[in-house]
Amino acid sequence: MMYDILNKKKQAKELTTHEINAVIQSLDKVPDYQISALLMAICINGMTPRETADLTMAMANSGEMLDLSSIKGKTLDKHSTGGVGDKTTFIVAPIMAALGFPMGKMSGRGLGHTGGTIDKLESIPGFNTNLSTHDFINITKKHGLCISAQTGNLAPADKKIYALRDTTATVDSIPLIAASIMSKKLAAGAEYILLDVKTGSGAFMQNVSDARELAKAMVDIGNSCGRKTAAIITDMSAPLGNTIGNSLEIEEAIKLLKGDKNIPDDLWEISISLSAHLLHMAEGIPLTECHTKAEEVIKNGKALKKFADMVEAQGGDRNYIEGEKTIPYKSVVPIISSCNGYVGAIDTAGVGLAAMKLGAGRQKMTDTICYESGIVMSVKLGDYVEKGQTMATLYSNLHNNVDDAEVKMLNSITINKIKPSIPPLIYETIGL
């Protein structure tokens, strides 16, 4: 049967629901070379929306499907396709919880130039991300907020397929990307799903048209599978906020939740917009009113309290959230401009790789992370800088690769004589 399926997809014919289910149910029995051949045929010939939805549901049903029906209220989820300095989950989730909408969220670890939500949370002393399903649901019930590592039984078929995609040059197939992301979102059980699809030099989808295609595919999957799903296409031409690195990003998110006026506008705008769109999806009230409500729970401290409550409930140090902290660093290296001019371009993926070299990320999943290491940006795209001005600062508690990270950072920031056009932070919304 597998031979017939391969031959059918090779000829760009549509697979039936039964055929797709048979492939996923037989993953442990079918040789890897046949699954790899099918992935390549899909990468070349694509899939219809119905095929993609069927593949997504088959992968979601390959493991545990969380039942959140015992949680009172409309359950929400937010997913980012990955970027550099993206710490919006630690802002959006507490905002929504403070507004009375439960967010029990399962997230992953970082690999390569993008950071991972779970790694960032584990930089908080004592914070436990490895929760049982029972504890995950109970914490969400009690506090309206819980962020846990994905369980090993959440869409296990996706793990097998992703490992093969990674070694067969089929990672960039939009149907396979969409099915991979949405299988985990559907298995996580939320009723409302908002997708933050990044585009730009730090994103997997580097142009808007590809980001739009992926966003539409995922929105179609979610809605066809009975979940209210929408997407926002946001810019990743530069790191989001000023910080890149685990504890540094948590600290910046906390500052925003405390109402710090020095928080970069881009981080504030994206965080509030994501929150407002989630509220609009759930309640249908005007977006302007949703923006106001999201800002109110930051100003009155309710969002910060929700975050601190979650940290404490998951074994973390509440004082780490509500107090002040100082981290001693072994290496502090400023990145200095060699000329006058405007920041004309930022290789955002390069900045993420520089942070990885400092110890803030992983090249492979077995690598150990240094939670304190990272980068603080001092300039934004379009800023004017003078020769000798600090554009960024590297922080590390490891002795290796600091020089490599410095070179990578210097090569990642381009200074031009002419001020560049600044891309919008939000390009468009889909499904709203």
CA distance 271 to 255: 13
227 is catalytic: no
Strands of the sheet with 331-336, listed across from one edge: 243-244, 374-377, 390-396, 331-336
Helix (H) or strand (E) run with residue 198 in it = strand 192-199
Set 9, 78, 79, 408: catalytic member: 79
Place of tokens 């001019």: 341
CA distance 203 to 198: 6
Number of Cβ within 10 Å of residue 76's Cβ equals: 26
291 is catalytic: no
**C-alpha distances in Å from residue 61, one per residue of 65, 296, 358:** 7, 39, 39
Question: At a CB cut-off of 8 Å and minimum separation 6, what does 431 contact?
Answer: 219, 223, 229, 230, 231
79 is catalytic: yes
C-alpha angle 273-361-248 in degrees, rounded to nearest 5? 55
Set 143, 165, 306, 357: catalytic member: 165
CA distance 136 to 431: 29
Set 180, 373, 396, 412: catalytic member: 180
Exposure string for 407-417, b = 16+ CB within 10 A, e = fewer: ebbbebbebee
Nearest to 236 by CA among 421, 79, 81: 81
Set 54, 86, 119, 158: catalytic member: 158
C-alpha angle 272-276-277 in degrees, rounded to nearest 5? 120
Q: What is the DSSP code string of 73-99?
A: S--EEEEE---SS--THHHHHHHHHHT
Nearest to 99 by CA among 338, 328, 292, 370: 292
Set 87, 113, 143, 184: catalytic member: 184
Nearest to 354 by CA among 338, 375, 334, 379: 375
Strand 390-396, strand 145-149: pairing: unpaired
Instruction: Give the dihedral sign, CA 217/223/227/232.
Output: positive
Question: At a CB cut-off of 8 Å and minimum separation 6, what does 271 contact?
Answer: 88, 91, 92, 95, 256
CA distance 374 to 381: 19
DSSP-based helix, strand, coil % in the chain, nearest 5: 45, 15, 40
342: its two tokens: 């405007």
Active site residues: 79, 158, 165, 180, 184
